[in-house]
Amino acid sequence: MKILLVEDEARLATAVRRVLNDEGYATDWSADGADGLSRASSGEYDVVLLDVMLPSYDGYEIARRLRRDGATVPILMLTARDGIQDRVRGLDAGADDYLVKPFALAELLARVRALSRRAKMGAAAETQILTVGDLELDIPAREARRGSRRIELTAREFALLETLMRHPGQVMSRSQLLDSVWSYDSTTESNVVDIYIHYLRNKIDRGFDRKLIRTARGMGYAIRAD
- Chain residues binding Ca ion by CB under 5 A are 8, 51, 53
Q: Dihedral sign, CA of 92, 95, 97, 100?
A: negative
Decide whether 11 or 217 has the Cβ nearer to Ca ion: 11
Residue 98 C-beta: closest distance to Ca ion, Å: 14
The residue number with the shortest CB distance to Ca ion is 53
Own/partner contacts of 135-138, CB < 8 Å, gap of 24 or more, are 135/165, 135/204, 135/212, 135/223, 135/225, 137/161, 137/162, 137/165
User: Shortest approach of Ca ion to residue 58 CB, angstroms?
Assistant: 9
Smallest distance, Å, CB 4 to Ca ion? 15
Q: Which is nearer to Ca ion, 34 or 53 (CB)?
A: 53
Rounded to a whole number of angstroms, the minimum distance from the CB of residue 87 to Ca ion is 16
Q: Measured from the CB atom, is 48 or 200 closer to Ca ion?
A: 48
Q: Which is nearer to Ca ion, 32 or 134 (CB)?
A: 32
Nearer to Ca ion, 12 or 219 (CB): 12
Separation between Cα atoms, residue 80 and residue 99, nearest integer Å:
9
In what order do the strands lie in the sheet containing 213-216?
Answer: 172-173, 220-223, 213-216
Give the nearest distance from C-beta 118 to Ca ion in angstroms: 26
- Residues 202 and 48: their CA atoms lie apart, in Å, by 38
Q: Tell the smallest beta-carbon distance from residue 8 to Ca ion (Å).
A: 5
Rounded distance, CA 87 to CA 98, Å? 7
Which CB, 39 or 224, lies closer to Ca ion? 39
